[in-house]
Amino acid sequence: MLEPTFITWILVLFGLVLIFLPMLYVQLLMVLRPHSQKTKDILIGKGDDWRDKTHFRISYGAAWADLVIWLPLLVAGSIGVILGQAWGYGLWAASGTISVYINIILWFSEREYVYPACGPLVYYTIYWGFQVYWGLAVVAYAVLRLAGVTL
């Protein structure tokens, strides 16, 4: 049993408040109302439209993938680490790896379009940064906890 530590709770709360809830809202909007102005305003920018069909399809596919794979891993992993279970840390590490992978891709591929509209602070934190930073922290923390290190 890997009892949750203070760092565990910080990562769980950060993941829930700054990653899971906003992503759940945005991805549900994308899946349920992909062409609505509200969805486009949140995902692309106020008054902007999809750049082309590929941009729309990637966003739509990512929304489904997040809802079917990534967010359930994040939730299940968070529940597992709160319960002190090794499997929770494994699922958390998988969720963190997915988060780092896709958000580094988006960090670079969306920069030309999103960065000018929101500036560096928002771009490197809210848009893509939180997911990258949280993912790296969770993967490192999970590996250390599974190796027997208590932080």
Domain with 52, as residue range(s), is 6-146
Distance of CA 71 to the CA centre of its chain: 8
Query: Does residue 10 belong to any structural domain of this protein?
Result: yes
Q: What is the pLDDT of residues 87-108, one digit of tens each?
A: 999 999 999 999 999 989 988 8
Query: Does residue 122 belong to any structural domain of this protein?
Result: yes
Residue 150 has pLDDT above 80, yes or no: yes
Query: Does residue 132 belong to any structural domain of this protein?
Result: yes
What one-character-per-residue DSSP string does 16-67 give?
Answer: IIIIIHHHHHHHHHHHH-TTSHHHHHHHT-TT---SSHHHHHHHHHHHHHII
Query: Does residue 82 belong to any structural domain of this protein?
Result: yes
Q: Quote the tokens at residue 72.
A: 């359930």
Query: Does residue 1 belong to any structural domain of this protein?
Result: no
Residue 29 has pLDDT above 80, yes or no: yes
- Predicted confidence at residue 114, as pLDDT, reads 76
Query: Does residue 137 belong to any structural domain of this protein?
Result: yes
Q: How many domains does the chain have?
A: 1
Of 47 and 92, the structure prediction assigns the larger pLDDT to 92
pTM, rounded to two decimals: 0.89
3-state secondary structure (DSSP) of residue 84: coil
27-36: long-range contacts, CB 8 A cutoff, minimum separation 24: 27/62, 27/63, 27/64, 27/66, 27/67, 27/71, 28/63, 28/67, 30/59, 30/60, 30/63, 31/60, 31/63, 31/64, 31/67, 34/59, 34/60, 34/63
